[in-house]
Structure 1
């Protein structure tokens, strides 16, 4: 064969191969995205999915929305059956239990010099495990005290200071309790976030549970006594969710309850009174808060990981963060876009920016381990026994400790 013919043939083959490669790269890819929410969230999540297609016309993302409880019940089943979505929503507090179903992202970051510093450091840590990042955040926030400004004013109480103490919190709850009105509506997570804000620890130096240490027991006991002794809060039902406390607050039957920025806008809109927010009360030492949040990861068993990574960057990118923040759905984990939440969604809630900035400045990493979710479930199940007087704080914490590794 003549050299010219050989070269021409090679060129043709090379062109064909290149064309096939381009065609393969541009072939339509349909990604499924598992997320929690309700019907009112559907349009919002779809608008983020549409951003992906605008950026990458060959990639279509389909949100699969489940209710909060159903989501966590179904997730391990979908993972074990191989039916899990390409993109998976993950809450930071559940990362120790579910990181194994996700793809570590660090190798992807290395290919495009991804700037992880664009995100609030505490939530990046929360979506990591053993030093590897498994999710990119869309929201972040510390736990806060939501309070009824009208009830504080009517009682002649000064509104909470940034560094208010548990004694201040207790005094307000006691004064605001009268008849069928409570100063405070307790819920299970208060016995985790509240003691930490007071300087207590429920882990030992080996990151194993130590629920019976003197500091944690004393701090939990103070929160318990607000209900069991002072009657400043009703008892929450064993296994109940935060809906119980938020409902009492929204109806005006409780002057304070503890929640996070993720619920702040809806709480303010649902209230017939003016709402304010404050940091959690501190103990004798300086203020200290834990933050949490949620993000999205790539399924380890997914078949389209490169496309999923492209979609992930859009879903947690600047425009997506602006949309979620402006709608009041999330205080963005992306730092540069947090102003949209402050300036648009949260502008009518007193003290928002000051309280959040103060809380982030005094934030501590949220310590977790592989059985943390079991611990949270046991707190929800057993703490009402201390609140209604069927057991002591020491007894409840000892019972829970005996059931943990």
Structure 2
């Protein structure tokens, strides 16, 4: 009789345990994640870190969606307008003011879980914060640097760029390398120009608002334009659907441009595409020194998501130590997490001339890339109208006046 009672108790306990287990087991959820990509190598990297989420949380699947860089910023507001935003969306720090309203503030989630934001570089956390609220967890950041084709410098016996080089050194090298159908450098807008302007001592903002019409900035832009229009050591990029930065990258990896400016996050695409040795250097010093602009990106939760708690779990993995180590090692990110930055130096930048000295020097003088809520429009206007100045069809000053006026409409 006692045996039967004990068996009944055990059966009841097992049943309760099964019910409790079923009750606490999470329902399977598929989260959509939208992120820009510029190559198959990037897509593979993003799918890898998406897989890390499911490894940690088997009930959370990630459906990865992507678009090219320019298409991403066109599609994101269109998706928002139609109520079809993915659960996880991506944000670049320069565009935080213009897109912050699409993102759920993350501060309450971080506070509730005791999430350590101090593990990330402070400047990129600030860059992804708007109106007092953190909109995305960062995965990368970094200063703009000069990529150069080391083989071309060696072939034409030109001294390689290094920490402390100047605009005069840059122009001398660009002229020496504009030979045999190749160009010494490539000039893109607006991001690289604004870094050049800051190194020249000019400002593009005044009291937080766009200010393109001040005389020091006009002089800096004319000097920047002259590299193409007057010195003819850089190709003219026409206004098109392809951003000038992407055109510069394309000419560089093809081996027809010796130098161009980009961020450390682009190393994955550069190394995957080139057949020559690559080096990097700080931006050449102008009147105010070598001042790079620092920016980065992160992932956030769409304010319309129906799975915010699950998305928060996913964000912590996508920007966690393991994901950051992977992205840094493969050259897709100069890690936003301080402890994982070493992997970019040790793996991704292995064999890249002057890599660690360049990043360390650039970060010492870099400024956060500050923007306005209309920055997407400002960027598009530069792409549309700057070619007129580069072609010599109108002055740099007239072009800046035009962009300023149109940005205010």
Q: Normalising to structure 1: TM-score of the pair? A: 0.90
After superposition, the Cα gap between the structure-2 partners of 1:269 and 1:25, relative to the gap in structure 1 and judged at 3 Å, is closer
**Residue 22 of structure 1, CA deviation:** 7.4
**Residue 34 of structure 1, CA deviation:** 1.4
Local SS of the residue matching 1:243: helix
**Residue 236 of structure 1, CA deviation:** 0.9
Tell me the C-alpha RMSD between the 2 structures. 2.2
**Residue 151 of structure 1, CA deviation:** 2.4
Taking the aligned partners of 1:111 and 1:96, their CA distance within structure 2 comes to: 25
**Residue 297 of structure 1, CA deviation:** 0.1
Taking the aligned partners of 2:219 and 2:167, their CA distance within structure 1 comes to: 12
State the partner residue of 2:297: 294
Matches of residues 79-228 of structure 1 in structure 2 within 5 Å?
79-189=80-190, 190-204=192-206, 206-228=207-229
Contact 2:252 2:260 in 1 (8 A): yes
After superposition, the Cα gap between the structure-2 partners of 1:27 and 1:250, relative to the gap in structure 1 and judged at 3 Å, is closer
Structure 1 gaps, min length 5 = 1-11
**Residue 21 of structure 1, CA deviation:** 10
Bigger shift: residues 73-82 or 275-284:
73-82
After superposition, the Cα gap between the structure-2 partners of 1:315 and 1:280, relative to the gap in structure 1 and judged at 3 Å, is same
Local SS of the residue matching 2:209: coil
Q: Is 2:267 the partner of 1:264?
A: yes
Bigger shift: residues 123-132 or 96-105:
123-132
**Residue 64 of structure 1, CA deviation:** 1.9
State the partner residue of 2:36: 36
Local SS of the residue matching 2:293: strand
**Residue 336 of structure 1, CA deviation:** 0.7
Contact 1:197 1:290 in 2 (8 A): no
Taking the aligned partners of 1:182 and 1:26, their CA distance within structure 2 comes to: 58
State the partner residue of 1:402: 405
Spell out, residue by residue over 1:140-194, the C-alpha distance to the aligned partner (whole angstroms, 9 max, x if none): 1211111122222333332223122222211211222235221112222332232
Taking the aligned partners of 1:246 and 1:112, their CA distance within structure 2 comes to: 41
State the partner residue of 1:26: 26
Local SS of the residue matching 1:262: helix
Local SS of the residue matching 2:91: strand
Taking the aligned partners of 2:300 and 2:20, their CA distance within structure 1 comes to: 30
The one of 376, 390, 395 equivalent to 1:392 is 395
Local SS of the residue matching 2:312: helix
**Residue 68 of structure 1, CA deviation:** 2.8
> How many residues matched?
390
Q: Is 2:340 the partner of 1:327?
A: no
After superposition, the Cα gap between the structure-2 partners of 1:238 and 1:42, relative to the gap in structure 1 and judged at 3 Å, is closer
Contact 1:326 1:345 in 2 (8 A): yes
After superposition, the Cα gap between the structure-2 partners of 1:153 and 1:39, relative to the gap in structure 1 and judged at 3 Å, is closer
Contact 1:199 1:282 in 2 (8 A): no
**Residue 115 of structure 1, CA deviation:** 1.4
Bigger shift: residues 186-195 or 382-391:
186-195
Structure 2 gaps, min length 5 = 1-11
State the partner residue of 2:7: none
Taking the aligned partners of 2:69 and 2:204, their CA distance within structure 1 comes to: 26
Bigger shift: residues 36-45 or 316-325:
36-45
